[in-house]
Structure 1
C-alpha cells in the first residue's frame, strides 16, 4: 500500500514539473528566426538582421556529395593534429552528421578530436605500411610487433572500408616540384610574425610537411603549394622581412643561406614550386556556420567580423567580442549557411539576450549550457565556472589538456639541431640532439623537451657515479649511528623497545621527509638508513633467539608480538599451521 502511494505521489510530482517546464517554454518569448519549438531558420534570421550569407564559391569544399558512412568503433590510421609528423591508430568514438570524433587507441579521451568525413588526414588501415610511413601503434604496443589483422581480431572491431575515405591514393609521389629535404622559408603558424628556416620533411600527394630547422616536430604543419605560409629561399630578404634562423645561430645576421645549404648538403626548393593562392574574398558582416573552438562538437551561427590577408575573424552571433577568433579562409571548420541542415548536424542558434544572464541551475557563465569541459572530451559537461571552457579565466588557456606525448620538462632532454641522418636527407626517426653551442644564445621559438631514455648505455657511468657517492654517504652514516648506539649501550645495559607513538611519528616523517628523492632514478639505491634506526633493537633480539629459519611457530609469534602495533597479529601466527621460521 505504501509503495502504491509513493508511486502515485511521484507521478503527480512528475506531471506538475512537466507542466511547469512547458509553461516556462510558452512564457519564453519566441525569436523571429525560430521555426517550431527550437528550430532555426536562416532565411528568417538573415531577413531579421538585414544581412547576407557568405557565397558558396568562397568555401573550399562547400557541401559534401556523399553521406558519412563511418560508424562508431571503426578503426583507421590518421595524422595527429597536435603532432603532424605522427601517423596513429584511431577509432571512431562519435558521429554527428558529416563529422566524427576520433580517439587515439590506448590513450584517454581528453585527446580526442573532430574531423569531417572527407578529411585528407585520415587513411584506411594498412596505409602507412603500403606507403612507407611509420605508424605509431596504440599505447603498450611496439611498432615492430603491431599487426592490423591480429589487433582487429583481439579488439573485436573492424577497419573502416576504403571507399569511405576521400584520400583514395595518399601516395608519397609528389606531382609538384617539391622534394624531400629541400629548404624553404615558412611562417610559424603559432606566431605568424615569425618566418623561419624550414625543410620539406615529408610528402603526401600534393602536400608537404614543413619542419622548422632545430625546432621540435610539434610545430610542423602540412601545406600545399598554394599555401600563403610557405615561401622560396630569399623571400624575406626580398620583402624586407626578418628571417628567424635555427636556434644554433646567435642572431639572424650570422645566418647565410649559401653556407646553410652547403653545411646541410641540401638544395633550395625552386621558385616555380610555390603557387600562392589569392585571398578568398570574404567581407565583413557575411554570415556562415563555424565550429566552436572551445567545444569542438558544436557548430554555431557566426559572422565575419574582420578580414586580414588569408584569414577571417569569426564572432558567434549574440556573443561578446571577447569570444572572437581568427581562422584561415580555407579552414575545414567554416561552412556556408545550410551546411548543418544538409549534413544532419545540430546548429547552435544565436545567443539570445535572455541567455546572457547566469542560469541558476547549470553553469553560471553567461550563454553556457554546461556543454563541454576544459579537460577535453573525457567530460561532456560541467556545472561550474572552474571547468567551463567559456569562463573568462579559461579563454586564453591553451594547455589545459596535457600533451599526449610530452611530459614534464624536467624529465626531457632538448631536441637538437639537425642530426646526421637529416643532414644526409634520410629524415628518419626522431630528431634528437644537443643544446646550442656554448656561448651562443638560441634564436626563435625554443624547442620542446623529449623524454630521457634511462635504459641507454650512455647513462650508466653517471648512474654508477651517483651510486658510489650515495654508498659513501651511507657508510659514514652507518659508522656515526653505530658509534652513537655503542655509547648508549655502554651507559645502559638494558633499553626498552620503542613505543608505538615513536614508531608512528617516525613513519609520518618517513613519508613526508623520506631523506631521498620521491621519484629517484631506477639505477640509484634508496637511502634507507633513516628507516632502519628502530630496527637495531629488534635485530639484537633476533640474534638472541638464533637463526630465524629454525624458529618454531611460538618463537615467530613471540617476535611479532614484540613489534609495536603488531600485537594483535601474533595470534594469527599461532593459529596458522604453516607459520614456522622458514615460512616467516
Structure 2
C-alpha cells in the first residue's frame, strides 16, 4: 500500500550488514512520517544519502536535522530516554511485545500491517488510560453547502478586526498546503495527508487532498482554526503517519517523490499558527467581572451586571440582583451598551442602584481600559442643547429613522434621545447615543438621501419636518453638530 514511499530504498525486510555501526543509514520504513522540518520543506536527496531513523521513536527524517554527532536520535528527549533505558529503544517494539535489538531493527523487519496495527493499539491504549469528557458536536448551519464552489464568497476574517484571528489572517490564502486527518485511509487509526486550500470563506476553508488534481469529488469544508489543521511538517515533528487517501493510492508508485514535487515552493501555515489561534481566543473580560449595562426594561438607565460567560469575545451578562441567572442577555465586549463601574455617575446618566449590599467572593469591577473608547469632542462651542430636534434610529426598531428630540445633554459627548410621538411619560424609553454615533442625523438627512423618515404619530402625513419644528420653541440640529 505504501511501496511508493520507499522507491529509493531497499525492501523493508532487508537488514544492515553491521548491527553495531553508528554510521549506518537504515532504509525508510514505509509506515513512518517522511518529512522532517522546522517550518521549512526540505528537498530530499536521491537514494538513502542524508536520511536517518531515530533509534528511540523510529521517526525518519533528514539526517542533518537529527541530534548528536552520530545523528542517532531526532531530539534530546529521545537521546536521554534511550540512555536511561536501552530496553525501551523502540516504542513499536514494546507495543508488539518483542525485545528490540540495540538498533531497534524491528521497525524495519515488521510487515506494514503489523506496524499499523501496533500503532492503532497504542492509540487505543492511550485513549483508555486518559478519560475525557465526551464532546457532542453542535449541529448548526452548513456554510459549506450554502456557499458551495460557485460565485458566492464569504467576507474574509481579516475584515473583522474585533474577532479572533482578525489581525492575523494574512497567513491564509488559496493554495496554502496543510496537514489534515485523512478520512479516506481505510485504516483503523487516525492518519494524516496533505491538502491544499481551494477556497476561503470566513473561517471556513474548502480543502482538496493532494493527488486529486482537478477532481473536486472529495473536496471538503472545514474550519481552518480547529486543532486538526496543521502546517506541513507537523506530522514529521510529532511522529504522525502521512498516508495517501485509499481512493488514489493506485495513481502513484512513489508518493514520497510526489510530495516532494508538489510541496517544493509551496506555502504552508506558520509554525505558530495554532498558538496564534489559542492566543486570539483569550479575552480580557473574565467571569464575575462587574460592568454597567443598559437596563433592557428601562432604556434610559443603566444597572450593574455580572459577566457569566465569555465566548468569542461575546459576553453573557446577568443583572446583579438576579440570583438564578435567568435575567441574562448577550453582547460583544466592544458594545457601546456596556461601561465600567462609575461611568453613569461620571457623565450624569440615570442609574439603578443594586439591591446587593456587597460584592460576593470573586467579583471585581472590570478595569476601565477594557471598554471601547469613544472619540473626544469639544462641547465648548456650538453644541447640542436640550430640546433640539434631529433624526435618529429607533433603538427598538432599527430599520426606522425617526423624528427625535435631544432630551438631555450629558458629559463627554453623550446625549439622551427621545423618539417623538412614542415617548413614555416618564422618559423611560429615552436612549443614550454618543454625539459621534452613526445612528443620529441632522434634520433633512433622510430627505436629501431619499430615505423614508418615520414622522411622530400625532403628525399629519402631508406636513414637513421643517414646519413641525418651526411652530414651537425647539430648533433643529445643524449638520455641524453631527460631525
Give the TM-score, by structure 1 length: 0.32
Task: Give the structure with the higher percent helix.
Answer: 1
Give the TM-score, by structure 2 length: 0.37
